[in-house]
Structure 1
Amino acid sequence: MQVMTRILHVLDHSLPMQSGYTFRTRAVLKAQAAMGYEVRGVTGLRHTAEGPVAEEADGLLFHRTAGAASGPAGLREWREIAIFAKGIEKVVREWRPDVIHAHSPALCGQAALRVARRHDIPLVYEIRAFWEDAAVGNGTGSEGSLKYRLTRKLESHVVSRADAVVTICEGLKADLVGRGTAPERITVMPNGVDLTLFGEPASRDPELARSLGFEVGGAPCPVIGFIGSFYDYEGIDVLIEAMAHLAQRRSDARLLLVGGGPCEAALRAQAAASPAAEAIRFVGRVPHHEVERYYALADIMAYPRKRSRLTDLVTPLKPLEAMAQGKLVAASDVGGHRELVTHGRTGTLFTPDDPLACANALAGLLEDRAHWPAYRKAGRDHVESRHDWAVNAARYQDVYQMLALLKPENRGTVAA
């Protein structure tokens, strides 16, 4: 049996750019390196940070693909795939990996598929989200459009040709099975947390708290926090509206919003017009190394995602980070959250798209202070037992070992 030791990860973008995508990539590659694998990454044209053609970031080596794709929609993406495939092939010829491990979107998968078949290398395709649904969620696409259908068709093509398929949650797996993919071909690799980065939670900074108005009469206020990107599907507008209801029961409660995104201006305007305007604080984007200072101010982290295909199918990372930080979690009752949060044990779930339900859930947690230690312990235990990268990454070993047993003639044909 061939021993798979060199893994080339094909990526949309990577560190030093910062996003949930790059942080998961970092965790995966670090965990695999700790298991004894040699790992590298190669990024496509959508990695827009300036840097050398081979760049080390946080101890990991990433190769960059140079070039630009132009033309009308559809043709432009096809040209982008061709350029990216050349970039992948360059690394393959120089480094000779044992496995090509491509990560969504499907543009990465299709480019990797061309090179994998040309060089007879096993291909793993890992789906973190269906990007056509993500485009709908962030307002750059519409469900059922031509682009939506073409993206979905391309993804299905890559899935059918890959030697192994990985998804981050059961919702995505179930959707692929519904499209005709055999369930035994799909491995679920849950979103996880690198617990080496979450030791003792940072201490509350009294000066920072006072500067934000999080004290009344010298006593700390209860703080609800949201740290992340301001997209419509995140439901931050629901949370802002909920604060007006919550203020009727807890006038001392405050809302901390950290981050930015396309909805920021509208959210700031909504907050300014709210009866609870004085209780809402926007701090904008903060450097990644300062995020823990803001986590430390919050008692409850709120995740009011709206119901959609995206939020029902995909599990987010942020609730797991909050549990690792020892925070209480209040989340909307959508499919992605239900895979992570057990109502009444590791957090509380409330009806999505309902500001009053959100307010009642937050008020219930604030009024149940006696059970906070139990919530915190259950959340941390859940992350340690089911979402620690040091443990979960071992599942990749099973996938790679299966590929080592796969005979060349059983792999797909060269993709167009």
Structure 2
Amino acid sequence: MRSPEAPRTDLSSQAEIDALQRENAVLRAEVTQLRSSLRMRAATIFAEAASSPRALISAPGRLWSLGREILNARAWRRVILGLECGLPDDALRHTAPGPGSASTVKTLGRHILSGTDLPRPALHVTDPALIEAISRTDELTRLVRDGPDWPTPAAQAAGPGSSRRVLMALHTGQPDQTNGYARRSHEILTALSALGWEAQGALRSPANDTGIPETLTNLYHRIGPVIPETNGLDAYVAAYADRLFEDIQRTRPALVHAASNHVTGRAAALAARRAGLPFIYEVRGLWEVTRQSVEPLYAGALGYRAQRRMEIETAKAADRLFVNGEAIADLFRDAGIPSERIVQVPNGVAPDQAPDPAAASALKARWGLDDRPVIGFAGSITSYEGLEDLFAACASLKHVPFQLLIIGDGPDMPALQNEAKRLGLDGQICWTGRVTPEDARTAYAFIDIAPLVRKDSPVTRLVPPLKPLDVMAGKAALIVSDLPPLKEFAADGRGVIVPPGSPTALAAALQGLLQDEASRTAMTQAAFAWIHKTRTWPEIAARIAGVYSDLLPRLPPA
């Protein structure tokens, strides 16, 4: 006998039902996460204790258990601090251990931060995030101990000098970012193109992208998303190298040039070797040192040591190493990179970067500045910039009219605003918050004195910023800390050099420049002439092109 026919379902209605069910599931998950949050649970304990005698009796024990969970969560964050190695979108940052993993997590955190050997976890640990952390730790330990496994270089596929096309693998670019890294990339690509090179910046696509390579402008294209099959640094770099190799096969460059950090550099080196092409690695800074400047404990972490090892190993794999400062060059020489393979490629300015007077006048009026001399800073407001020393110096200036201009934003801004109030600088200071890069550069046309008085720290001793060149291009008088990456800019009468961390010395320098306009003018003219003779992007691109030509000896004339 035939079974009764099943009722027919309206497909459109069923799709709507499925969509509503998915939406409800998301909302339920959000409510569950909110209810399970430590802050909400603490509030619930207090609320229940206020309404029930039984809950009041049990509240101390419940709060004690909650406190243990808070300590375990902090221990887990310390584990992640030790593990992270510059890998983009690290899922481990957003995970937390289960209650059964708490003591192992704390043990891991102590051992990783102290730099000692890692104990093997107990077999009963089953928390997925913790298991992933153990795997990641093993990988980073191997990288610190042994370094990466580099493949044997392939034979030259097409021969050097087959074209003037260069693939520049970049962490980010101006289509997505406007920071100093992206700005340097854009200026170099633009200047190389003007010299007759087909220079293209290769950018990764977002993880949810279609995966199809995409041309963005004449200077940039996307290679598609990097999606490794498994977690970990090696897996990510291998997937990134595969994407770059596919791009090399498609675009047929004669040379591969990658910029910081080691994740991009190592992937580009693997792809270039597989294709048999020359490889250049450009170190613009050491990211582990920058992170250490705001997280001092990171200096002893496994992630820090792994990143340093990866930077050195990537530099050793390169045919040439570009650095943007002598301090970085010294670090790699000490690590065994021959001096003849290291090339200085400093920061630069555009030849026509001088601000427009009309735009500068309008900007000054918009910010409410008057005719008093302007002492100005533009940049990220972080602890190593030494702004508290600048405020202390300004507070000590007597009988000298001036106004302070602070352009930018950052984690230390609230504390510095409180400090400015405490010092009585409220009536003399203008905080602009975050502005466009164009406005920041335009402001130097009416900034009279620009102190860049960074604190003495590993990152400030290593990485030269772009800011001094913007100051000089805008004809503002420069004051810098006596630190290797900064004092070169102020040498030979181009600026004033003061000891780092000395508000007294800074106050004396400010007072002298405020009272002597003729000295300020002579200083700014000398600085302006120097950067336009030695530090324009076309001049820097010519240095880079010279290295390209050395690596491609049969290159025909442009």
Query: Which residue of structure 2 lines up, in the alignment, with residue 173 of structure 1?
Result: 329
Correspondence for 1:350 among 473, 498, 523: 498
Query: Which residue of structure 2 lines up, in the alignment, with residue 332 of structure 1?
Result: 481
Query: Which residue of structure 1 lines up, in the alignment, with residue 189 of structure 2?
Result: 29
More deviation, 130-139/202-211: 202-211
Q: CA deviation at 1:312?
A: 1.4
Q: How many residues are matched? A: 394
Q: Which has the larger radius of gyration?
A: 2
Correspondence for 1:225 among 365, 376, 386: 376
Closer/same/farther in 2, CA of residues 67 and 179 from structure 1, 3 Å limit: closer
Closer/same/farther in 2, CA of residues 39 and 15 from structure 1, 3 Å limit: same
Q: CA deviation at 1:23?
A: 0.6
| Counterpart residue identity of residue 186, structure 2 | R
Contact 1:141/1:148, CA 8 A, preserved across alignment: no
Query: Which residue of structure 1 lines up, in the alignment, with residue 369 of structure 2?
Result: 214
Q: CA deviation at 1:329?
A: 0.7
User: TM-score, normalization: structure 2?
Assistant: 0.66
Q: Which SS does the other structure have where 2:461 is aligned?
A: helix
Whole-Å separation in 2 of the counterparts to 1:226 and 1:69: 42
More deviation, 39-48/155-164: 39-48
Query: Which residue of structure 1 lines up, in the alignment, with residue 164 of structure 2?
Result: 5
Whole-Å separation in 2 of the counterparts to 1:47 and 1:173: 35
Counterparts of residues 36-115 of structure 1 (less than 5 Å): 36-44=196-204, 54-56=214-216, 59-67=218-226, 76-115=232-271
Q: CA deviation at 1:258?
A: 0.7
Closer/same/farther in 2, CA of residues 394 and 152 from structure 1, 3 Å limit: same
Contact 1:13/1:47, CA 8 A, preserved across alignment: no
1:113-153 CA-partner distances (Å, limit 9, x unpaired): 11011111110001111121111124486223211111000
1:360-389 CA-partner distances (Å, limit 9, x unpaired): 211111112122221121011110111011
Contact 1:132/1:141, CA 8 A, preserved across alignment: no
1:318-359 CA-partner distances (Å, limit 9, x unpaired): 11111011111111111110122216x111111111222222
| Counterpart residue identity of residue 148, structure 1 | Y
Alignment root-mean-square deviation, CA: 2.7
Q: Which SS does the other structure have where 1:305 is aligned?
A: coil
Query: Which residue of structure 2 lines up, in the alignment, with residue 410 of structure 1?
Result: none
Matched, 1:384 2:532: yes
Contact 1:192/1:320, CA 8 A, preserved across alignment: yes
Q: CA deviation at 1:61?
A: 1.9
Matched, 1:295 2:448: no
Q: Which SS does the other structure have where 1:340 is aligned?
A: helix
Whole-Å separation in 2 of the counterparts to 1:163 and 1:352: 37
Matched, 1:403 2:551: yes
More deviation, 389-398/109-118: 389-398
Closer/same/farther in 2, CA of residues 341 and 120 from structure 1, 3 Å limit: same
Whole-Å separation in 2 of the counterparts to 1:47 and 1:255: 43
| Counterpart residue identity of residue 30, structure 1 | T
- Structure (1/2) with the larger helix percentage: 2
Query: Which residue of structure 2 lines up, in the alignment, with residue 278 of structure 1?
Result: 427
Closer/same/farther in 2, CA of residues 76 and 333 from structure 1, 3 Å limit: same
* Percent identity over paired residues: 30
Matched, 1:264 2:419: no
Whole-Å separation in 2 of the counterparts to 1:396 and 1:200: 27
Contact 1:70/1:76, CA 8 A, preserved across alignment: no
Q: CA deviation at 1:46?
A: 8.5
More deviation, 131-140/185-194: 131-140
Whole-Å separation in 2 of the counterparts to 1:298 and 1:204: 14
- Structure (1/2) with the larger strand percentage: 1
Whole-Å separation in 1 of the counterparts to 2:341 and 2:186: 25
Whole-Å separation in 2 of the counterparts to 1:146 and 1:37: 41
Contact 2:355/2:442, CA 8 A, preserved across alignment: no
1:252-287 CA-partner distances (Å, limit 9, x unpaired): 211111111222222223223322222122111112
Q: Which SS does the other structure have where 1:241 is aligned?
A: helix
Counterparts of residues 122-133 of structure 1 (less than 5 Å): 122-133=278-289
Q: Which SS does the other structure have where 1:256 is aligned?
A: strand
Whole-Å separation in 2 of the counterparts to 1:401 and 1:93: 22
Contact 1:45/1:84, CA 8 A, preserved across alignment: no
Q: Which SS does the other structure have where 2:375 is aligned?
A: strand
Query: Which residue of structure 1 lines up, in the alignment, with residue 339 of structure 2?
Result: 183
Q: Which SS does the other structure have where 2:454 is aligned?
A: coil
Closer/same/farther in 2, CA of residues 2 and 285 from structure 1, 3 Å limit: same
Structure 1 spans left out of the alignment, 5+ residues: 407-416
| Counterpart residue identity of residue 152, structure 1 | R
Matched, 1:151 2:307: yes
Contact 2:468/2:478, CA 8 A, preserved across alignment: yes
Closer/same/farther in 2, CA of residues 369 and 400 from structure 1, 3 Å limit: same
Contact 1:204/1:296, CA 8 A, preserved across alignment: no
Whole-Å separation in 2 of the counterparts to 1:327 and 1:304: 15
Whole-Å separation in 1 of the counterparts to 2:208 and 2:393: 37
Per chain length, whose mean CA-contact separation is higher, i.e. which structure has more relative contact order (CA < 8 Å, sep 6+)?
A: 1
More deviation, 385-394/140-149: 140-149
More deviation, 280-289/198-207: 198-207
Contact 1:228/1:260, CA 8 A, preserved across alignment: yes
Q: Which SS does the other structure have where 1:125 is aligned?
A: strand
Whole-Å separation in 2 of the counterparts to 1:138 and 1:28: 29
Contact 2:204/2:222, CA 8 A, preserved across alignment: no
